[in-house]
Amino acid sequence: MTSTPLPSDLGVSLAGGRGEIRVYSAHATGIDLLVYDRDEPDHVSDRVHLSRDEDFVWSGKSSHLREGSRYALQAWGPQGATSAFTPEALLLDPYARGIEQVSASQFRAVVTSTDFEWDGVTKPNTPPSESIIYEGHVRGLTKQRADIPLELRGTYAGLGHESMIAYLSDLGVTAVELLPIHIYADEHYLQQHGMVNYWGYNTLGYFSPEPMYATLASRAEGPSAVVREFKQMVKSLHQAGIELILDVVYNHTAEEGPHGPTTSLRGLDNATYYRQTEDGTYIDVTGCGNSLNTSMPATQALILDSLRYWARDMQVDGFRFDLAVTLGRDAGHEYQREHPLLERIRTDPFLADVKLIAEPWDTGMGGWQTGNFAPGWMEWNDRYRDRVRNFWLSDIAHAREHGSVPTGVGGFATRLAGSSNTFSEDRGPIASINFITAHDGFTLADLTTYDSKHNIGNGEDNRDGTDNNRSFNHGIEGPADDTAIIVTRRRAMRNLMGTLLLSAGVPMITAGDEHGRTQHGNNNAYCHDSPLTWINWELSTWQEELLATTKMLISLRKELPALRPLKFGRFGETVENASQMDWYNALGQEMTAEQWDDPNSRTLQYLAASTVEGAEQSRILLVVHGLEDSTDVIVPEHAGVSFYEPLWFSTNSAPKEIPGVLRPGETIKIGPTCMLLFRAA
């Protein structure tokens, strides 16, 4: 696919006491800039008729347009099936660095200051193979933290507070991935029902941070102060060596369907920015009412310029692209792996130091594309999520009901070793963002507590949210008093967390899972800004134990290079920067082809030795037992291995020293459903 030149230098620039604005519209016949009086917000102090150049960029200058100025645009043009010009509508500049809400349905763009002192603090640039991502919501992370001053809780400053930084550092994660922080609006449906879009996947502007997440003091001072607070949060994270990744929503906007609010792109150039049929029907591959038309150069420019702004000016370390397949759809609305926008993002020199993470699906035809992004992209691996949940949860539920499990250990082993059947050899394990839970779905604790979703509080009669949870309540729906059920659930949580942190690939932990947070069975809590979605930091004893277990697993992952190869290994060969892997059954014998798929063969021994360049060699033995009975395991005899030192057993409710070592060929009794990690030496 050929690349087309993109419009450039859009938005507001200041020079010589005058501001200039540049706006793209291929179909408008006129655009006006309205600058508002600083003391009388509804009074227009200057109106400028913009002029258009041959590249469809409209521009104009005003001495009233300066730092702190509020401004809007009005556009008019032909009325046609794909046009939506509404001359009376006050529109946002798509490149506005600051946005303020002035009424229930009206917003104003604001010229912001760029002043900030980074004091030499730079990006950590953590290699993907060493990354451990922590996905959370900027508000929910600190709203209930008692060790953060009240006025900072639930804000950018709260996340940047020393106590939250200390917690993240002590946990051992290397990056925080925030749910969308671009300014957003609540959908009309939610407003009608008195609800909110807590997750924020309904973007109003791609350059402005959401002011609701700033402190009251910053909000009172204005958008420039909100930007400074955001930058200070980034600076504080970077000082601790922690990266910041943003979840970004470039697939649709808050203008919703064709009858939704007209706030910006629709009023400026509906025919360019949104996917439509010839009769003006929106082609919606996002399930949100509209889809940005990324086959158009202007749309590509908007997205690229936004990414550059956040990566350079705001010093963000990476992006997780919501419904990224939409970004790669061509003029015929089909996904193209080498789509010009995806290629521009991947090869842009200004984005060379950022992590690119695709959510590799959308809701349109051909929308599931896991494994089909180019080198340089990482992807959320839903196949990993589903296989791991099956192995530890739904397979066990099936065994209780039917007397046998439906599958063997082969599929699980493939995921454990980096998903080589999903990602190409040139991309390797680090293309896989491994996750078992995310903001969307059950929490880790709820996966072990509920068979069905409990979303009645969402106001849709429990119709919303997926029914394909692959969860297991272990005998009773919801909280239990039965000690046996409680013990089994907690061991299942440790098995899930252990799998996540001991697998090849890049692990992503959902905030709160490290200590067993619950949403009481709600698997689609997008509309709750309440204690249901805020993390409760008052932990019981078992939660403290799970937190200690998570910390230990993270520490072991960092200590043992064999757990985090850069490349896929090949049987019988030494591949530099890959782990040499050997697979044994419960008898310490090499796995046969038949045993991989045998439902009765659910005990696996995984021996891996690192070959990472420049790192001290490490070798580990991971024993996995996926049945609810005890069994004997003979640890394997292997060249160069003299003993196996126990490091972590998921049967222990909390980390503890395990005395002694095992010699090759010795027997250990294990089970039920457990993992055992040894250092092989």
Q: Is residue 560 part of a domain?
A: no
Enclosing domain of residue 573: 569-680
Could you tell me which residues come within 8 angstroms of residue 274 by beta carbon, excluding any fewer than 6 positions away? Answer: 265, 266, 282, 290, 291, 292, 293
Residue 399 pLDDT more than 60? yes
> What DSSP designation does 422 have?
T
What does the alpha-carbon distance between residue 292 and residue 364 come to, in Å, rounded to a whole number? 13
Share of the chain above pLDDT 70, in %: 99
CA distance 204 to 109: 11
Q: What is the pLDDT of residues 23-69, one digit of tens each?
A: 999 999 999 999 999 888 889 999 999 999 999 999 999 999 999 99
Mean pLDDT over the full length of the chain? 96
Q: What average pLDDT score do residues 217-237 get?
A: 98
In sequence order, the 6+-apart residues with CB closer than 8 A to the CB of 151 are 215, 216, 217
576 has pLDDT over 90: no
What CATH number corresponds to the domain at position 655?
Answer: 2.60.40.1180
Cβ atoms of residues 197 and 289 within 8 Å: no
- Examine residue 281 and state whether it is found in any structural domain, yes or no: no
pLDDT at site 153: 98
Going through 352-413 in order, the beta strands assigned E by DSSP cover: 355-358, 377-380
Classified as helix, coil or strand, 257 is coil
Q: Which pLDDT score is estimated for 421?
A: 96
2 pLDDT above the threshold of 60: no
Question: Which phi-psi region, left, alpha or beta, contains residue 41 (left: φ > 0; alpha: ψ -120 to 50)?
Answer: alpha
Distance CA 93, CA 268 (A): 9
How do residues 360-387 score in pLDDT, each as one tens digit? 999 999 999 999 999 999 999 999 999 9
650 is a domain residue: yes
- Tens digit of each residue's pLDDT (9 = 90 or more) over 496-527: 999 999 999 999 999 999 999 999 999 999 99
Secondary structure of residue 218 in the 3-state scheme: helix
Kindly state whether residue 335 falls inside one of the protein's structural domains. Answer: no
- Given a cut of 80, is residue 571 above it in pLDDT? no
Write out pLDDT tens, residues 521-535. 999 999 999 999 999
- Whether residue 590 lies inside any domain: the answer is yes
124-149, pLDDT tens digit by residue?
999 999 999 999 999 999 999 999 99
User: How is the beta sheet containing 580-584 ordered, strand by strand?
Assistant: 580-584, 603-609, 619-625, 674-680, 644-649
pLDDT higher than threshold 60 for residue 348: yes
The number of folded domains in the chain is: 1
Burial class of residue 179, CB neighbours in 10 A (0-12, 13-18, 19+): buried
Residues in the chain, overall count: 681
With tokens 């607070």, the residue in question is 229
Note the pLDDT of residue 249: 98
Q: Is residue 625 part of a domain?
A: yes
Strand partners, 578: 567
Point out the residues that are catalytic: 322, 359
**Would 666 be classed as within a structural domain?**
yes
- Burial class from Cβ neighbours inside 10 Å (0-12, 13-18, 19+) for residue 414 reads middle
For 164-217, what is each residue's pLDDT tens digit?
999 999 999 999 999 999 999 999 999 999 999 999 999 999 999 999 999 999
Q: 614 pLDDT band (50/70/90 cuts)? A: low
How sure is the predictor about 1, in pLDDT bands with cuts at 50, 70 and 90? very low
Token output for 626: 């996926």
Instruction: Tell me whether residue 660 is in a domain.
Output: yes
Residue 5 has a pLDDT of 83
CA 83 to each of CA 32, 75, 76, 95: distance values in angstroms, whole numbers, following the listed order: 18, 12, 10, 21
Q: What is the pLDDT of residue 38?
A: 85
CB 288 within 8 A of CB 359: no
State the DSSP H helix or E strand holding residue 447, giving kind and residue range, or none if neither: helix 444-447
What residues have CB less than 8 Å from 189, skipping those under 6 apart? none
pLDDT at 253: 98
3-state DSSP helix/strand/coil percent for the chain, to nearest 5? Answer: 25, 20, 55
**Mind listing the pLDDT tens digit for each residue in 633-673?**
999 999 999 999 999 999 999 999 999 999 999 999 998 99
